[in-house]
Amino acid sequence: MYEIDETIYQRFHEKKNMIYRRLWDKSLPTYGKMFEVNIENHINSHKEGYSRIDFALVAAGWTVYEKFPYAFTWERENSMDLGYGVNWMKNKYPIQDNKNFTEQVKKAAKVYGASLVGISDINEKWIYKDGFVRPSSKSEAESKKKVRGGDTSGSILETPINLPKGINKAIVMAIEMDQSAISTAPAQPAAAAAAIAYSKMAFVISCLGEFIRNLGYRAIQCGNDTALSIPLAIDAGLGAVGRLGLLITPEFGPRVRICKVFTDLPLVSDEPNLRFIKKVANVCRNCFKCADACETNAITKDKEPKFKGLNISNNSGVRKYYIDGEKCFEFWIENSSDCGNCIAVCPFSKIKKYVSPTEFWHK
């Protein structure tokens, strides 16, 4: 499924992710920069897909992700009676048939809005060694105010990540991103599709986390934090990693965002989709569409995957195509948003009709 060089592989330090590195790594040209640096220039340029309306769509797309205090909570602080009572939630729900119950949990995830859902055992390798841990019941925006403002002092980005004992299953979910919006990449409607998917993630994991707690079990709600989402998703049978460095799913290709809920529910794990993993490996070996579409050459054109990454934002030791996150992020800053060109051109994304940013708004 994947080859690991155990002499190299180490659990990832979340502060090496470009979103954090830009806050502390002074060697980067993107040090201290974020999307706002270019926005007014873009708006004044009158370029299609970079108008004030486009940027308004993107920024508002993040609303639930950024502002909802319980999105990424690890536990329920107190039982709030919403009119349904709370006493019945306190004992563990007796589970007779784990397989059937797992299907019910998956159904709940889909009803809450997950496009795809799979279950995996938790491989500790994929859990961050350390990272930023949000205080409970605080929104992303509020909890990261200081960090984003430049306070990376002390251990703020280096809290050891240890899942509580007994938490041994991951419910991994993919959220589809809007096809027509993604087709406009790297223009802003594509960034809006990503932002909205993040807010949907926050919604889905919040509801699923509470569903699990209502059954008397524990739930840890995560977006990109706490653990590497792609290998967890592969373990949970959702797809494979492609040349573009993202999860590719059979249903939507890389046109998804991933979230996960860790739990102590006795769920039945899925198997990795080995047939699809093989298919993606074969297609990516000879397809360079994402690499050709990348404006900053962040995607390799090497024929074969490698064990060694390009810089500290790669977690070396797994055989795959490593993307250059430093270069990718340089384009994001220039673009005033994430980009998505590689997602839009990937044949696995199954985009039926590509539209211009103007057509996006009017069709």
Cβ closest to ligand SF4, residue 210 vs residue 326 = 326
CB of 259 to ligand SF4, least distance (A): 19
Residues that bind ligand SF4 (CB under 6 A): 242-244, 283-284, 287-290, 293-294, 296, 298-299, 323, 328, 331, 339-342, 345-348
Residue type, 319: R
CB of 100 to ligand SF4, least distance (A): 36
CB of 246 to ligand SF4, least distance (A): 8
DSSP 257-286: EEEEEEE-S-PPPPPP-HHHHHHHHHHHHH
Whole-number Å distance between alpha carbons of 254 and 75: 31
Q: Which helix (H) or strand (E) holds 359?
A: helix 357-362
Whole-number Å distance between alpha carbons of 200 and 71: 10
Cβ closest to ligand SF4, residue 209 vs residue 242 = 242
Cβ closest to ligand SF4, residue 121 vs residue 302 = 302
Whole-number Å distance between alpha carbons of 64 and 70: 10
Cβ closest to ligand SF4, residue 160 vs residue 347 = 347
List the one residue out of 204, 197, 217 whose CA is nearest residue 75: 217
Residue type, 51: S
Cβ closest to ligand SF4, residue 221 vs residue 341 = 341
Pairing, β 130-131 against β 240-241: unpaired
CB of 206 to ligand SF4, least distance (A): 27
List the one residue out of 138, 220, 129 whose CA is nearest residue 172: 220
Cβ closest to ligand SF4, residue 209 vs residue 272 = 272
CB of 120 to ligand SF4, least distance (A): 22
Whole-number Å distance between alpha carbons of 136 and 138: 6
CB of 287 to ligand SF4, least distance (A): 3
Cβ closest to ligand SF4, residue 238 vs residue 290 = 290
CB of 333 to ligand SF4, least distance (A): 11
Q: Which long-range contacts (CB under 8 A, 24 or more apart) does 352-356 make?
A: 352/179, 353/180, 353/183, 354/183, 354/184, 355/180, 355/183, 355/184, 356/48, 356/49, 356/184
CB of 239 to ligand SF4, least distance (A): 11
Cβ closest to ligand SF4, residue 200 vs residue 320 = 320
Q: Which two tokens stand for residue 227?
A: 């653990």
